[in-house]
Amino acid sequence: MFDVLKTNPIVAVLRGIQPKEAQAVGEALLHAGIRIMEVTLNSPNPLQSIEILAKEFGHTAVIGAGTVADPSDCQRVADHGGIICVSPNTNISVIKAAIAAHLTPFPGFMTPSEAFIAIDAGARFLKLFPGSSVPMSHIKALKPTLPEGIGFIVNGGVSADNAADWLAAGADGIGMGSELFRPGDQATDVRRKANAVVARLPQQSS
């Protein structure tokens, strides 16, 4: 996961995507260099979209589910080809269910206590959410206290204007939703927006 984030730190949050859009949107994101995609489970037929993306792009991209709040969803995500499980909160049951299903959990956290609860449950990647609720100095203060090898992304309030600042503050990755995809967007819209966002990021290693 760290290797993928180093090539491009963006996690595309596909909220509201429909299965019929999945392949074209996935192609547009990959063309811009974005290699991590999460389909939120409150989208229409999300497991079908995950399966389409995994079959088409799973050899080059990391595909999974977002907004995972129910432990029972983890195995279903894995059965449809997903490999990451992104949650809005710190739920030990979801973390353990994700690990049992051979998924990489990304539990949401805000406080140091939540971060360490997630780590103790087995998480090795965390999601600071919502990022808009805290200053970027929150990362700088928190990151040195985390065990070695723990990575995290920031989601909520990340935009093309501040993405580079979040990375400079210490985030390993950034989750972006509507800046890349809104329900009803055509693949050409996604490609244009993704290229514009990526162009504003610091140069990443290949």
Q: Choose, from 21, 51, 127, 179, the residue flagged as catalytic.
A: 127
Instruction: Establish whether 96 is a catalytic residue.
Output: no
Counts of helices then strands in the chain (DSSP H, E): 9, 9
Instruction: Establish whether 127 is a catalytic residue.
Output: yes
Give CA–CA dist 135/122, Å, rounded. Answer: 27
Alpha helix positions (H), 32-91? 46-57, 72-79
**What's the residue count for the chain?**
206
Pairing of strands 10-14, 125-128: unpaired
Report whether the peptide linkage leading into residue 130 is cis, meaning its omega lies within 30 degrees of zero.
Answer: yes
Q: Choose, from 38, 51, 179, 193, the residue flagged as catalytic.
A: 38
Q: What are 99's two structure tokens?
A: 């690990």
DSSP code, position 16: T
Give CA–CA dist 162/172, Å, rounded. Answer: 14
In 3D, which of 83, 44, 87, 42 has the Cα closest to residue 61?
A: 83
CB count in 10 Å sphere of residue 126: 25
Q: Which residues are catalytic?
A: 38, 127
